[in-house]
A and B are shown apart, each in its own frame.
Chain A
């Protein structure tokens, strides 16, 4: 009896859950409330459908994907989107008028104001006889127009078109914001690349120079390592790499540092081989290891140990970089991560910002430190995230 109960319960779960998921996917959310509320919901829903396309900027593709939703929103016979030079998309009946859409928009583009135009058409029953042309304005520049066509351009349509055009302009502004954010991320990587160089290059070359006479073979090997290291650290393509690549680069870095510090620098490494193929942001570990070497040797007893651990954690990979150096005040680390503290090393904040940008806020750096207790920085990187591929 207990058995059939369990089975029936399980049957219910297994059959009902996918059913509900599918039903919601197909039907969407049902409307509740008064007629006006339902209309509002419908309009907001339509706007939300148009928004993702517009967030990629005013392109032909975005226009094509959003025009249908904009026409539903306006309830007009047809809708056209243009930029300053040409028609981007036409949605609705009587597409023979599409060719004239850009010419029709010329006054609105010039004057940066809404105009109502008559469409020349031989057919007296044509639903596309008048047009409301509204400019799309971005930072006081006209970047395009939204045109609504209908048999008669009443004040209601004019008002609605102007409002929708303003909303579209808002979305385009957000698109520009997204773009500048992406540019910022790129600039951050570039800054990191530039930041590694000077001190390290000087120290490494000096260390290598000291071997040239005493141990030429070693000097040669170190120089080759140095060459490989700089090639990796200054590569220009790809935002992501594999953990194996990143670790290899850290190996070269530590090899060069050990040539300089000798036995004073101890390195320990524990890597679960399962996580080696994980895609990680390019140069996400190197600045942390550099910090660890600096902190580990900076103060105290003159020698230090740097430990790098990478472990498998289900769908995530957990990487930590630890040193047994002087540690620092947690408040100061918090300020560095928040970008409010003056520091000579921007590595920590930079890595943190990039991790958050790619994987979301819950995947930022985890820093455990206290004065005199060393520092441990932990990264938690999902093994798979949409759009993230090592290259």
Chain B
């Protein structure tokens, strides 16, 4: 069997498993006829595994390693932020939100502000964020299939979109907790086991310096396959062997490499694709060095920290899972376990990013840095072992696409049916198809952006809309419906504009690019300010029963103080 056929088998296995569990999941989950067992609530451990399983997406599985490979130490804030978001969730939102009884952010908005208008507005943003978060999942699927089997990029995206839509629309995922919990452990295994072998192989190789001062070089004669012509920056002149047309000298400076196979000699410095700047080992390993050509690293870091810390609470598929907790205290315990599970997982992607700089530097030439996780086993271990580890990684990656996309699609389609298309589309199935179609189109259109960065944009949008709504709604009596609406429109409108101009590639360098690529640092404060300001200006619109709502949100259930109807 070739390496490709192992990968195809792995993908097929994960797809069939997902469809199968989707259809029979309920029965697998609960075969007992014992009422007491069946009516027992999900334990925080299970629920936390499910939340983690649904949360660990393509960005976590592939994207972080790719970003670390290209841009170095600053990118470690991505995994830190993805986890720390749950800390903020734990401190500010988890228990009160569970006590509110709300199932989605729109529910919360209506319960807190008694305003159907704010509810509708919030549901629009749920759909927008869901769509934005779906794009990188589909992108990642396309990339994975094309990197491992050579299929065109659209194949993987379409495959995942179709599988997930069929599964969700066909009534699968009706009891997703155990399926998603299983997915967490699958992903952890699929990422951690190969990482262990890779580290051993690196040790066996004499543990070469991960941040060699010279920057990335080809360690051995390497042939690089280019599907499309690539514009690269050559540092030192190098003679490459172009298959079919013989040797060619690449002079220093910008060069356009033709598509085809190029063979670089051992020891040659790796020319980088024009959007990634070549970084010395020192710059790569040092924070805030702007390695890889990121402008204004200090600003970008703070903006990223804000987006990820505050954005997690606004992700539709995350909040929905908290409903499964029986009470506020269980919601807190669940969040605590999530912090642990995610913390363990996020240790691993960095290993791939660092090793990738040594063993798969050609990705910096092709620009497909997101593929580093998949490329390493072949480059470092090779042979049957490498093929099997690669297949395991491909399986894990597909589990990541499928589980996150399913969760997002269920949430997005649910909101579409209930709020946005109320009265026109009653059918959940059609809503699911509609909810998957637009992200697929966007994923096919914007395939060149790093996965991790697009996910970062989704976080920025969530942080600029739902974070102010939830935090002020829970902790400030003075929030009014007009204030909430104005804040949502301000924060959401600004972050959406930034997201779309980034997707369209309007600004490449300098402050505009930094501000647009990491908008949270200015959109989140703006949203908070507008929400507070307009609320203060419309003080007479504070809901009359705000005291009772606050009591219900904050008083522990055991006190029995909550609203009795």
Contacts and interface: CB of A to CB of B under 8 A. Distances in A.
A274 to B, nearest CB: 5
Contacts of A390: 101
A386 B101 contact: no
Interface string A109-121: 0000000000000
A269 B40 CA distance: 13
A10 B114 CA distance: 30
B268 interface: no
A388 B564 CA distance: 10
Contacts of A11: 496-497, 500, 504
B287 interface: no
A61 B326 CA distance: 36
Interface string B7-45: 000000000000000000011011011111011111000
9 nearest A-B residue pairs (beta carbon): A272-B175, A251-B35, A314-B414, A3-B445, A315-B414, A384-B107, A7-B504, A6-B445, A383-B103
Given A237-B564, A311-B26, A312-B175, A269 B38 contact: yes
Interface residues of A, number: 52
A177 interface: no
B177 A384 contact: no
Chain B interface size, as a band, is 35 or more
B334 to A, nearest CB: 13
Contacts of B117: 21, 25
Contact of B33 (A14, A18, A269, A384): A269
Contacts of A250: 35
B503 A7 contact: yes
Given A6-B441, A7-B442, A250-B35, 13 more contacts: A19-B493, A22-B489, A269-B34, A271-B39, A274-B177, A276-B326, A313-B171, A313-B428, A384-B103, A384-B107, A386-B110, A389-B101, A389-B563
Given A7-B500, A384-B103, A277 B325 contact: yes
A19 B42 CA distance: 41
Contacts of B488: 18
Contacts of A314: 410, 413-414, 417, 428
Contacts of A14: 128, 493, 496, 500
A274 B493 CA distance: 34
A273 B489 contact: no
Contacts of A312: 173-176
A147 B537 CA distance: 32
Interface string B398-442: 000000000000100111011000000000100000000010011
Interface in A109-142: none
A19 B442 CA distance: 22
Interface string B114-131: 100100110011001000
A202 B562 CA distance: 37
Nearest to A383: B103
A14 B325 CA distance: 33
Contacts, number: 163
Interface in A238-276: 238-240, 244, 247-248, 250-251, 254, 267-274, 276
B175 A273 contact: yes
Contacts of A21: 117, 120-121, 124
Interface string A1-16: 0111011101100110
B18 to A, nearest CB: 16
A131 to B, nearest CB: 28
A263 B66 CA distance: 61
A334 B519 CA distance: 58
Given A268-B33, A273-B175, A312-B175, A15 B496 contact: yes
Given A25-B485, A384-B102, A244 B39 contact: yes
Given A276-B41, A277-B41, A389-B563, A22 B27 contact: no
Contact of B111 (A15, A276, A313, A386): A386
Contacts of A237: 564
Nearest to B30: A270
Contacts of A10: 438, 442, 500, 503
A387 interface: yes
Interface in A46-86: 61
Contacts of B29: 272-273
Nearest to A243: B39
Given A267-B33, A311-B174, A3 B446 contact: yes
Nearest to B99: A389
A85 to B, nearest CB: 24
A279 interface: yes
B352 interface: no
A156 interface: no
Contacts of B36: 248, 251
A385 to B, nearest CB: 9
A343 interface: no
Nearest to B47: A273
A79 B42 CA distance: 58
A387 B104 contact: no
A268 B31 CA distance: 9
A42 B408 CA distance: 44
Nearest to A24: B117
Contacts of B41: 244, 273, 276-277
B175 A315 contact: no
A268 B38 CA distance: 11
Interface in B73-103: 101-103
25 contacts: A6-B445, A7-B442, A7-B503, A14-B128, A14-B500, A15-B497, A21-B124, A238-B565, A269-B30, A269-B33, A273-B42, A274-B324, A277-B41, A277-B325, A277-B326, A312-B173, A313-B428, A315-B103, A315-B418, A383-B103, A384-B102, A384-B103, A387-B565, A389-B565, A391-B563
Interface centre among B39, B103, B107, B324 (most CB of A within 10 A): B39
B104 A315 contact: yes
B174 A15 contact: no
Nearest to A251: B35
Contacts of B107: 384
B154 interface: no
A74 B22 CA distance: 62
A312 B180 CA distance: 14
Contacts of A277: 41, 323-326
Contacts of B565: 238-240, 387, 389, 391
B492 interface: yes
A303 B425 CA distance: 43
A17 interface: yes
B175 A274 contact: yes
A254 B500 contact: no
Contacts of B101: 279, 384, 388-390
A2 B410 CA distance: 28
Contacts of A239: 565
Contacts of A388: 101
Interface in A337-391: 382-384, 386-391
A9 to B, nearest CB: 9
